[in-house]
Structure 1
């Protein structure tokens, strides 16, 4: 892929969009008397109806200067030029509405929906203002696509959960089932890095747009529900079994190219194209190659014998990937095309152990993936679209493991209490079964003359994630104060799967949280990203170890208000 270089330059800041202070004050006033869940009295003790609404406003401002080498690259200039230092990068209002009805606590239904609008985004994308980069934007005529208008600018919304559930005893075995759009999460992983290397990988599509904006968030907060049938049976006091059958497939949601947290300009579903070279011109983004909607499934067993004083889990899943390989499927002057390719028929076998030792909750996993897509040469040439669910890119077998711990620190002279969590992850590629010519790994053709600092996969990868939150109660009447701290980084090597992790690649956040009367939550955070790149010519990034390295100049401060009523 050709990287173009220009001299670093700045340009006049354009107006930023902000939620008016009067409107925000009105919002607070409106919610002040209603900041609790709405429970409907049915007059029937067997029927419970609950309607929760969560309002969240987030304001964010870029405080870190642009890295000229990132801004001088043809594949990363639009993200860093989307906003200047000092500009508003988010002025987003979100509404989450949740409706639950239960009968005798065994039957019921749940529906939830989300809506949003972000005044920080206008209709136009922005790129390096100097030729040639100013003339080759990934959005035609510097106009954001309809996809960006919907999922960033808004106002827009979507349905989330929509399912029915029920329970019955089959003989002496209680069985519970759900049908419809919901999320299932197996295994013991905590953070995003753990999920991407865990038993629950691709069990639900994740909202990485949210994940990139909120480092340290637990993986379960990123789930996007899918239509499916799931069931669980308590076979004995010590043994439960569970299963799921998917009726819908969807990909992860990504930070899109040309937006503030979009690492590369051509990815994923928003941008129109990518400039390849003077000889070939642009490659247009084609429709993704997706697997069939139905057919994913899995089985799980959880065993808690008294002698173990813990819980072991055993898992099998057959699933379709929800992260893509990205290839040029057609090459020629002004006719080139690239597509996101999603492969299916991946088998995962896993085992987990959860145990409490000395008041600390430990979790661990070990899993094996067969026929899984591997890291590939991005925009590598793989002519022709494969059949749905197939890929011409590399596939193979990988091992994954993790161990984590969660604990609470009691009162000390420094704080009233503190919660902490730490997670270590591991991945290893075992063998390559197809597409070895496109496997982006040390010792393979795609990485000749390159090493891990160019992003090449290594035999083993180790990563980490951690959080620490001290809390002070009643610093003022009705007010609790907390200081959430998060840090995640690749410790050694590069993972064999997409977004699995890269050495030195990571993020961190430092924040202050204020809970007022347990009704209103205010969070002030600084968020930034870590990584390393190479600049062979001294003007622009020519290679990087992990795409999120290209966010290392995107440090920002965010202020968030949230309440539920």
Structure 2
């Protein structure tokens, strides 16, 4: 996954980076300007700054009060027929509908009061940066606030209340054998590549929080979770930057907890206990415990449910990467090459099975499997042409772990083959098969005023002071479609975001930022869509937003997101929502 280079939550420039090359070139300045124009990266106007001896100290804090409301009604096609609201009678939808059933149309499903604080101290060539977040959600902190299924303790600890340290690293510039070297050591985000909106590209170093990826214009960088690592960067010759990192600890991507509004499944996220067969399967199956009244442990004993067992997690070591970035004066283009070895942060579903002469072969448990030792080779380019900043991000992953559509049948088959005569064998499926994967991302950023040759007339007609347009296309390709997988070998989509600004509204210092973002998966459902949320054929999403900013201190915003098209595979088509926020930065 990838986005603007920079520490998470910042405008794209990393603390502690002072060398020339990619981090000081035109594309970074354009990206920083885009975020400011969109009202996303303004620094607090009255941040605390002071001297501590010879050191410079700054403390920035932003507090936000928010509310999120469901604006669409449920669609019965996504609700199991074991519930009065449902009409899906496939026997599996019982495992996908808790989040849908927990909230009615116009329910407030989240109302957090949150804060994020940043601390930095710097003296000479060295410094320390830390960032922490904290929130309390008045709705989701109450596990019984839902309409149907209570949130679990695991869910509440994730979405109800939480305080945690995010970034915490030292940085500096040192001289090694006459060569200036920049380093960062500690908990941090490392964003390689050129992607703005799409994941699955070059920057696979960090895990992310999927709850931050809501809305058509949601940016990948806002969701990254820092990890402990050492990063070094040096310039052996003019216009060439070489970087390397080693990650000391693996951490997983944080999925939507079961039963929360955005949760599209009940069997894998935090709070999951098992998978349950609906009545359509027969043999006494009754569906999930909330609908049937038959508790999970009883269903596991009766064989009408499969328990979730311990995760298969990789080791903390073995994750590292190198990159080389060269700025071509002749082409006025920055070119990059990358290699990474990483462990998957998003799980596939593995399963275990057993056989006996009476009941045959059947699953006895399933687990979240985080596949280790994935290789990634990448290339990037960025340049400016006709005042448009372009970026190219190409990632090739040989022997990539493609999730199986049905690991349970695969496990039962393995158990049968272990003893096809006596029916006493056991077997398992890791939940994936290997195939080569390539993803190409191409984007452009254009920021213009009323006199600009492109869109200047439209900006004048709308009375805006300026407008920023961002567009990104992504193509996901697999060399073939392995047996047992679901989707297409090729999938293409794009995301577009337009933000305008009106300065000095009604003669006041307030600035108004209207915006619209649109996502369209043009063709194809990627083989890894269930794991990476890349492309679902014909899926569409639009977000309308309006933000008012007062001197980068007060911010008031509203947004509405509508999900549509994509057929049955797009479980979000009835999860439209609106958000309202008020923020104060100091």
Q: Which residue of 1 aligns with 2:20?
A: none
* TM superposition shift of 1:335: 8.0
TM-score where L is the length of structure 2 = 0.77
**Pairwise mapping of residues 244-323 of structure 1 onto structure 2 (< 5 A)?**
244-277=245-278, 278-279=284-285, 280-323=303-346
> Kindly tell me: are residues 431 and 363 of structure 1, through their superposed partners in 2, closer, same or farther at Cα, counting changes over 3 Å?
same
Corresponding position: 1:394 with 2:413:
no
Corresponding position: 1:481 with 2:529:
no
2:563 pairs, out of 529, 533, 545, with 529
Separation (CA, whole Å) in 2 of partners of 1:392 and 1:255:
20
**Pairwise mapping of residues 180-219 of structure 1 onto structure 2 (< 5 A)?**
180-191=186-197, 193=198, 195-196=199-200, 198-200=201-203, 202-212=204-214, 214-219=215-220
**Pairwise mapping of residues 415-454 of structure 1 onto structure 2 (< 5 A)?**
415-431=464-480, 436-438=482-484, 440=485
Separation (CA, whole Å) in 1 of partners of 2:147 and 2:551:
45
Separation (CA, whole Å) in 2 of partners of 1:93 and 1:110:
24
Separation (CA, whole Å) in 2 of partners of 1:531 and 1:148:
29
The 8 Å contact of residues 150 and 259 in structure 2, kept in 1 or not, is answered as no
> Kindly tell me: are residues 303 and 107 of structure 1, through their superposed partners in 2, closer, same or farther at Cα, counting changes over 3 Å?
same
**Pairwise mapping of residues 20-39 of structure 1 onto structure 2 (< 5 A)?**
36-39=46-49
**Pairwise mapping of residues 534-553 of structure 1 onto structure 2 (< 5 A)?**
544-545=568-569, 549-553=570-574
Q: Which residue of 1 aligns with 2:184?
A: 178
Alignment size in residue pairs? 474
Separation (CA, whole Å) in 2 of partners of 1:77 and 1:507:
20
Q: Which residue of 1 aligns with 2:29?
A: none
Separation (CA, whole Å) in 1 of partners of 2:64 and 2:445:
27
**Pairwise mapping of residues 109-148 of structure 1 onto structure 2 (< 5 A)?**
109-121=128-140, 122-124=142-144, 142-148=149-155
Q: Which residue of 2 aligns with 1:139?
A: none
Query: Match of 2:502, SS?
Result: strand
Query: Match of 1:175, SS?
Result: strand
* TM superposition shift of 1:431: 4.7
2:352 pairs, out of 329, 337, 353, with 329
Q: Which residue of 2 aligns with 1:53?
A: 61
**For residues 483-513 of structure 1, what are the alpha-carbon distances to aligned partners after superposition, in whole Å with 9 as ceiling and x for unaligned?**
1211112111122323221112242210111
2:545 pairs, out of 505, 511, 518, with 511
> Kindly tell me: are residues 399 and 270 of structure 1, through their superposed partners in 2, closer, same or farther at Cα, counting changes over 3 Å?
same
Separation (CA, whole Å) in 2 of partners of 1:257 and 1:378:
21
Separation (CA, whole Å) in 2 of partners of 1:144 and 1:90:
13
5+ long unaligned stretches in structure 1? 1-33, 129-141, 441-455, 534-543
Query: Match of 1:120, SS?
Result: coil
Q: Which residue of 2 aligns with 1:65?
A: 73
Q: Which residue of 2 aligns with 1:164?
A: 170
Please report the RMSD computed on the Cα atoms of aligned residues, expressed in angstroms.
2.3
Query: Match of 1:473, SS?
Result: coil
Q: Which residue of 1 aligns with 2:372?
A: 344
The 8 Å contact of residues 96 and 265 in structure 2, kept in 1 or not, is answered as yes
The 8 Å contact of residues 420 and 468 in structure 1, kept in 2 or not, is answered as yes
Q: Which residue of 2 aligns with 1:495?
A: 526
Separation (CA, whole Å) in 1 of partners of 2:551 and 2:479:
53
Q: Which residue of 2 aligns with 1:138?
A: none
Query: Match of 1:484, SS?
Result: strand
> Kindly tell me: are residues 125 and 330 of structure 1, through their superposed partners in 2, closer, same or farther at Cα, counting changes over 3 Å?
farther
Separation (CA, whole Å) in 1 of partners of 2:585 and 2:276:
46
Q: Which residue of 1 aligns with 2:577?
A: 556
Separation (CA, whole Å) in 1 of partners of 2:525 and 2:378:
22
> Kindly tell me: are residues 554 and 342 of structure 1, through their superposed partners in 2, closer, same or farther at Cα, counting changes over 3 Å?
same
